[in-house]
Amino acid sequence: MPNRPIPRRKGHWFWGCLLEMISDRSGFLIDKHEEHGDVFISRALVRDLMFVRDPAVVYAINVTHWADFYKPEYVKSMWKPFLGNGLVPNDGESWKRQHKLILPGFHKKRVDAYASTMVAFTERMLDRWKEGERRDMRLELNALALEVVADTLFDIDIGKGDSETIRDALADISEILVTDADKMIPRPDWWPTAENRRKKRAIAKIEEIIRRVHEERLTSQKDHGDLFSHMVFVEDEQGRMSDKQLRDEAMTLIFAGHETTAHALTWTWYLLAKNPDKVAKMREELDRVLQGRRAEVDDLPNLPYLEMVVKESLRLLPSVWAYAREAQRDLVIEGYEIKKGQTITISHIAMGRNPEYYDNPTEFRPERWTREAERALPRGAYTPFAGGPRVCLGKQFAMMEMRMILATLLQRLEPNLAEGFEPDFVTELSMHPGERGMQATVRFR
């Protein structure tokens, strides 16, 4: 195929597109793809960034050529102090080994067994709530998702203290990582800045909790049937995972496994609050199928509209709004020449707003997710969990968790936003409503 020209966005003579990007990251992707098309390049300080929302190119990067792309070096160095060599930033042979060791821990049977915990914890949360009080759904759903991950993956019933420690530490870390990423030239970790000290303190707090659970597991030599036990005791020809690797994987799972889901649920709440007709449809389905009893994992195939709502929410307001790769060699994909070392941002949020694939893309319309319509979508056009071998390891877990929690919330609550409240749209590592949260008034049915 002949080489296709890649439009170049001219930015500021010094910053390139950096300042534009920082001021509104997701808006930048959506608007600039509209302006320049499915693939374009723009400079951020000294680095040329390629942005992609062409499904065929995304599919090739995720699937056909997955081994030719690693996580970008600047992303890895940003993650390093926190996630070390955990699955998210890892690459090459080391990633292959870790992936093979951990994958059985996400077996469908094991994940399905977590459904009842997800429902029970949601009910426990609602039992504490009182009619008419104001709640920040972002905070509540974050705490809930953290409790779920702690219990199902680590078998720790997170006490209020631990939960708050992890939540506050993660919030600190996320904020600092994003500030580092925006600088494009991260300061070395040993640099004694206030931010680096705050980051180190936050990381140490989570490490302490992981170390405690690890020691308990080694002392008791007991497999709790959770993912952490699996990671402690699983072996291959090279033996067990090192303590350092185990720490890195545990950090990765705590981080990747709760904020992403919590924010996706927060946006689903927002979209439902704005669309009472969709709530009515969900209710009709839930009441008909469940007849007032608790949702169970076996009910999910009978709740297709619930799944459509989740898919549509992940299209319109995806918590992971983009992800990045770096080419490991020169190659041509769909006629686009990609040089070794090229950093590529896969503009997942912009893909979801492309009218070529989604009519009236800004409209929240779960009904668009019929089986036929989904089959007609080009491969690579919907990748909220990325795709190919580097697909999100927690995809089934998250899809189930979102549905179990939403079903339980909707059975008892009226989704709403507190009077006069409109959220902010903050795109950091994940997209969330910022410090003002997602304010709602508790209204039981």
Binding site for ligand HEM (CB under 6 A): 87-88, 99, 252-253, 256-257, 260-261, 264, 319-320, 323, 384-386, 390, 392-394, 397-398
How near is the Cβ of 20 to ligand HEM at its closest, in Å? Answer: 23
Helix, coil or strand: residue 353: coil
CB nearer ligand HEM, residue 289 or residue 320: 320
CB nearer ligand HEM, residue 249 or residue 299: 249
Question: Shortest Cβ contact with ligand HEM: which residue?
Answer: 394
Residue 4 has which token pair?
């296709």
CB nearer ligand HEM, residue 248 or residue 289: 248
Helix, coil or strand: residue 51: strand
Q: How many residues would you count in the chain? A: 445
How near is the Cβ of 267 to ligand HEM at its closest, in Å? Answer: 10
CB nearer ligand HEM, residue 32 or residue 258: 258
How near is the Cβ of 153 to ligand HEM at its closest, in Å? Answer: 6
**C-alpha atoms less than 13 angstroms from C-alpha of 437 in its C-beta half-sphere:** 14
CA distances (Å), origin 105, targets 112, 176, 230, 386: 12, 31, 6, 20
Residue 146 has which token pair?
């953290």
Whether the CB-CB separation of 347 and 322 falls below 8 Å is answered with yes
Closest CA to 415 of 278, 269, 234: 269
How near is the Cβ of 232 to ligand HEM at its closest, in Å? Answer: 17
DSSP string, 115-134: HHHHHHHHHHHHHH--TT-E
**439-440-443 Cα angle (round to 5):** 170
Is the alpha carbon torsion for 320, 322, 326, 331 positive or negative? positive
CB nearer ligand HEM, residue 217 or residue 325: 325
CB nearer ligand HEM, residue 155 or residue 289: 155
In whole angstroms, give the CA distance from residue 242 to residue 410: 43
CB nearer ligand HEM, residue 251 or residue 289: 251
